[in-house]
Amino acid sequence: MMVAKKSIKFIVVLVLLMTTVSTFAKEGKQEGQHHEKGNKVDTPEKIKEYIAHHLKDSHDFHFFSYTNDAGERKDISMPLPVILWTSEGLVTFMSSEFHHDDSGQVIVEKKGVKLTKIHSKIYELEAGADAVVFDDHHHAENAHKVLDLSITKSVFGMLIAGVLMLLGFGALAKGYKKGPIPTGFGRVLEPLVLYVRDEIARPNIGEKKYLKFMPFLLTIFFFIWILNLLGLTPLGFNVTGQIAVTACLAIFTVIIYLFSGSKDFWSHTLWMPGVPYILRPILAVIELIGYLIIKPFSLLVRLFANMTAGHFVVMSLIALVITMKEAFGPVASTGVSLILALFITVIELLVAFLQAFIFTMLSSLFIGMAVEEHDHH
């Protein structure tokens, strides 16, 4: 039974990886049909640009492109809602109106406001302008950014993670109502919940106060873990590879341990006992910098850098299908790329869990340092 389960998991990973390889290769092949326009993805520079573009957030899900018999370029993608606050107020429409153009050439007019998208950012043209004017550095001279509240790819991924968590924990709660041992899908989540409680919360926060912070620790652990797993699918999610997302998670941790800090924590931070009085203000500044800047920065950068690097390595290995094609042929290059990318993807499955664990562990450690009660003799 265990062998069968492992085989199923291996097949699922293999299918997902092969889908990603085929999507990447198809994109490069179809782009190659327009080599006269310079769209062929066949050089290290263009591959890096292609990967960097797909690691960024986007207003739609772009799967692949092709050219039909009439020579027309077609993009297969799933549009998402665009929600903007412009000079004329709230504007909403679907991202498909930009026709997957990111160069500022497509102008969308809504409520008398002309909008365009440049490098994944949406701009509003100045009054009377009909086209974007670029300077020598390709910066828009007659357009300015708007407040973008759109449902982007990352926002959509977070919504999916939230729904999955509500369904999973709802099933676990219903299971506990029926008896001490949950049934159904709740039995899958229970070991993970107990792991967070017994291996993360209790040792770092303490028996007396850990229950107060369990909802937060469980939320960030499963939230990060699910988003990391979504990032390994061919859908192009890279939510935890967005610095804004990891920064928000780190800020939540900072707010919790600062507002939960005990009197001992603040007294030791602002007026450290046992040291000369002349050094206490200096040490207070150092401690505040550590709690307000260094600790949250270490949280957000570790998660962001590890997940982004992992995605970049996987896509770079997949790109071997293109870069090694001329030297070794399509069959050999595809085989080498598939084997290497599969190996890294399996490692990324471990990293997805490990990064969720580390973020939760460090958060609980910082909270435990803030709520700790010191014995004064």
Do residue 196 and residue 326 come from a single domain? yes
Domain of residue 122: give its range: 81-150
Do residue 106 and residue 222 come from a single domain? no
Q: Both tokens of residue 7?
A: 């085989």
Do residue 124 and residue 257 come from a single domain? no
Do residue 143 and residue 159 come from a single domain? no
Q: How far is CA 223 from CA 184, 299, 303, in A?
A: 21, 15, 13
Helix/strand number for the chain, H first, E second:
12, 9
The 3-state DSSP class for residue 325 equals: helix
Out of 106, 129, 150, pick the residue that ends a domain.
Answer: 150
Do residue 126 and residue 210 come from a single domain? no
Split into its structural domains, the chain has a count of: 2
Q: Both tokens of residue 66?
A: 């092709």
Q: Is residue 122 in a domain?
A: yes
Do residue 124 and residue 206 come from a single domain? no
Q: Both tokens of residue 275?
A: 């040291």
Q: Is residue 326 in a domain?
A: yes
CB atoms under 10 Å from CB of 108, counted, come to 17
Digit-by-digit pLDDT tens for the chain (377 residues) are 343 344 344 444 434 443 443 334 333 433 333 333 345 666 777 777 777 777 888 888 877 777 777 777 677 788 899 999 998 889 999 988 887 777 778 888 888 888 988 888 899 888 888 888 888 777 788 888 899 999 999 999 999 999 999 999 988 888 888 877 787 777 888 899 999 999 999 999 989 899 999 999 999 999 999 999 998 887 778 899 899 999 999 999 999 999 998 888 888 888 888 888 898 999 999 999 999 999 999 999 999 999 988 888 888 887 777 777 766 676 677 777 788 888 888 898 999 999 999 999 999 999 999 998 766 54
Q: Both tokens of residue 184?
A: 């159904």
**CB under 8 Å to 331, separation ≥6 — which residues?**
none
Do residue 85 and residue 201 come from a single domain? no
Whole-model pTM? 0.82
**CB under 8 Å to 149, separation ≥6 — which residues?**
83, 84, 85
Cα torsion through 362, 363, 369, 371, rounded to 10: -160
Q: Is residue 74 in a domain?
A: no
Amino acid identity at 153: K
Do residue 133 and residue 217 come from a single domain? no
Do residue 243 and residue 146 come from a single domain? no
Out of 100, 125, 150, pick the residue that ends a domain.
Answer: 150
User: Which pairs with CB-CB distance under 8 Å and at least 24 residues apart come from 64-67?
Assistant: 64/23, 64/26, 64/27, 64/30, 65/27, 65/30, 65/31, 65/100, 66/26, 66/30, 67/30, 67/33, 67/34
Out of 150, 165, 181, pick the residue that ends a domain.
Answer: 150
Do residue 108 and residue 214 come from a single domain? no
Indicate the DSSP class of residue 61.
Answer: E
